[in-house]
Amino acid sequence: MFHGSCLCGAIGLTIDAPLKDPIACHCEQCRQQSGHYFSAVPAPKFALHVTGDTNLKWFRASDIASRGFCKVCGSTLFWRPDDGPTIMVASAALDTPTGLRLSGHYWCDHKGDYYAIPDALPRYQGDSK
């Protein structure tokens, strides 16, 4: 069982399932919304329970997915594809210790030019494995 919240606490979340390790996404949308590259954990949609969801705002960022954030404090919280059983939950929203470890970098071909990827984890172009 994982717990978490946005920065102001208006939104709380619980994930009642084991979690895979988080990924880092370097795509332009993640960078623009979060302020840097974005780390998120894949979670089963059915296992995610949100409290205070009247404060949750969804931004339709593309034809395939929406991005959820707290409309009070602005915390980036979710990337939710329309299809499939999985929602991506911001790693930073989870209470520590998470016991999770970053597993790889995605959309590296879209990363910003102002930083270097700082570790030796696997790197992918786009979201391909």
Chain positions contacting Zn ion, by CB under 5 A = 6, 8, 10, 25, 27, 30, 70, 72-73
Closer to Zn ion by Cβ: residue 60 or 99:
60
Scan for tokens 């895979």, then name that residue: 20
The least distance separating Zn ion from the CB of residue 101, rounded to whole angstroms, comes to 19
Closer to Zn ion by Cβ: residue 8 or 18:
8
What's the distance, Cα to Cα, between the start and end of the chain in Å? 28
Compute, in degrees rounded to 10, the torsion defined by CA atoms 27, 36, 96, 49.
-50
Q: What are phi and psi of 34, to 5 degrees?
A: -90, -20
The least distance separating Zn ion from the CB of residue 73, rounded to whole angstroms, comes to 3
Closer to Zn ion by Cβ: residue 2 or 46:
2
